[in-house]
Amino acid sequence: MNTTQKKIALVTGGSRGLGKDMALNLARKGNDVIVTYNSKKDEALQVVAEIEQRGQRAAALQLNAGTVSGFDTFFAALQATLKKTFGTERFDFLINNAGHGISVPSLAATTEEQFDELMNVHLKGVFFLTQKALPYLNDGGAIVNISSGLTRFSYPGSGAYASMKSAVETLTKYMAKELGSRFIRANIVAPGAIATDFNGGRLRETPQVQEYIKSITALPRIGQADDIGGVVAFLCSEDAKWVNGQRIEVSGGMYL
């Protein structure tokens, strides 16, 4: 690999919300960035434009993170983009961020279809996307998997979602162990309640929910997207070169 080659980060679900902030923070650290989007192409291209305005190279690729059968097509497109836009065949940082929530009142109200949808995106998708990414991931790189504060504390209706995230936390330890010989680090970032359009923007749009979240958080405010991206960028930097197999919760101290 060319020693002057900039590091390249791949952020799934990078067109908006937390993923967008991760992409922008990685660019601020001097990394080139590839973001994926499921359906929001225009928003993804806007993120690309913002990154390019900062002097870094960027690209956007379509990816349905819950459809494993489409991953080979995605990696063919990724390989072409790496060569054309970045002049290389590999990248350095994989951030498995793409995902969504569901609004259900309880375990009893969760359907099998909802369960499978969450599993396909948040667990199966993460497992096989990472597996297929390994030949393209540079030694000495890093993987950051996005989890949730809901793996430490419970909230009614989030049982299926949190279970997938708990599984990814365990998976991340195995990634850290198995990829250690390549000096690829793997860590978890677990956001608390963040005011984005996640779950239909429920937290962002509901004052009563905001007041409740403030009341159970040591730092009494609502989390914002820009609370998360800097932590992800840190884990992809040399400052975090000895951080491996760890879960870092970024919640302002919820339910302490």
Q: Is the pLDDT of residue 197 over 80?
A: no
pLDDT at 3: 43
On whether residue 54 sits in a domain, the answer given is yes
For residues 63-73, average pLDDT: 98
Can you give the CATH number for the domain in which 163 is found? 3.40.50.720
Torsion of CA 151, 154, 158, 160, to 10 degrees: 50
On whether residue 207 sits in a domain, the answer given is no
161, 174, 212, 255: the active-site residue: 161
Q: Is the pLDDT of residue 199 over 60?
A: no
With beta carbons less than 8 A apart as the criterion, state whether 191 and 146 touch. yes
Quote the radius of gyration of the chain (alpha carbons, Å): 18
On whether residue 256 sits in a domain, the answer given is no
For residues 140-161, average pLDDT: 96
161 catalytic residue (yes or no): yes
Pairing verdict, β 32-37 and 58-62: parallel
On whether residue 215 sits in a domain, the answer given is no
On whether residue 129 sits in a domain, the answer given is yes
Q: How many domains does the chain have?
A: 1
Which pTM does this prediction carry?
A: 0.95
Question: What is the distance between the terminal CA atoms of the chain, rounded to a whole angstrom?
Answer: 46
Domain limits for position 18 = 8-191+228-250
